[in-house]
Structure 1
Amino acid sequence: MKAPQQNETYELKTVLDSMVKINDLEWRDFIKGLQRKNLSKGEHLWKKDQFCDSLVFLQSGLIRSYSYLGPKEVTHAFYFEKSLFYDDYSFLSHRPCTKAYQALEDSEILFINRSYLQSMYDRHKCFERLGRLALENAHIAMVQNMERIRLFSAEENYCYLSKHYPGLLQRVPLKTIASYLNISPEHLSRIRAKKSIQRTTRTIY
């Protein structure tokens, strides 16, 4: 783990500025607590029963959260480049994670420890507001994701992924996509075959 260079924090500054404006003094104070880490494909950021004590910004790569329901693997979310996230349950409750977070590609992250972040809340009001907004956004995204998976059909959810995250289907193994959609890999293969036929038919006619 290393402290990031100034030019490595530009994208994070852009993301945070889109939520709350941060002046130069506040930013210099914030990046004193930042660290950088590389994850290899397949490596875990946090495993189940480990503690999440950091806010993470994904510079590059792809990370997923997952757990097991009996023998069944369930993928809960995907985190792409420029994602800002933590395990909200572990981070807020100071209890172990109930999910695991795994790099699906070689990934580079910036992170800041919870204790340093909380000291920023005390020193700079903008970061207190930023923490609240980050929590609200994470909760909204979680609820939207759960509702979409619960209320939409598997085919509708597959079409949603294809439309909003077209690159995901090329970057992630089909069994992982199936575990996210809560269907079997065989069911996913049938949906993909059906959509392929529909595209071919539209092209012909």
Structure 2
Amino acid sequence: MTPSRILRFPSDRSVGWLRARGPQWPDMPHGILLGDARGDVPVPDDCAPRLLVESTAARDLSFLSRLQPGDLDALELTQTQVTDEQLRHVPHLSGLRRLSLSDTDVTDRALMHLRPLVSLQWLALWWCRGITDAAVPDLLALRGLEFLSLGRTGITDAGVLQLAALPALRTLTLEDSRVTREAVAELQRQRPGLRIEHSEDRIA
């Protein structure tokens, strides 16, 4: 396995961990650990790199500007200290297909930074209490979304029904949300092939 490209991270500190999936690891669906995201990291050309950002490193994502548009397949910011403002460093990663912001303090304002991510297929916003119906226009701009997680957010019936307009959406998770059974039924009527995960438990 000969590395054919270099991903460049800060040389003075680790900002997280780099994993990769690829055909050369058929028995490892979650990929392998390539190592710390520090300095110049060689990666095989035929793999899909996934960056798991360390919690405090997410307070300053300017290091992402050193990456090329197609360097990352997935960006994992779950349970980090990322802010709305720091997501301005993400839009140039046009090859990004998966992004998780779950269990962070991001709000509706963060999602305007995601609009340029035309390749995005998978977006997790679970337990982002600052996400409300006001975020829906930005979500609708992500026409390639196939998976969207909105459990434990502030999304309501009015917002979720608009998501029927996402043409590629296959799975929508709404567990522990404010969305009612009636809205889920109506969305299912409009999009009969859509898989919806929903529970009756509501967040306060």
Question: Greater helix percent: which structure?
Answer: 1
Which of structures 1 and 2 has the larger relative contact order (alpha carbons within 8 angstroms, sep 6+)? 1
Please give the TM-score of this superposition, normalised by the length of structure 2.
0.30
Kindly name which structure, 1 or 2, has the bigger radius of gyration based on alpha carbons: 1
TM-score by length of 1: 0.30
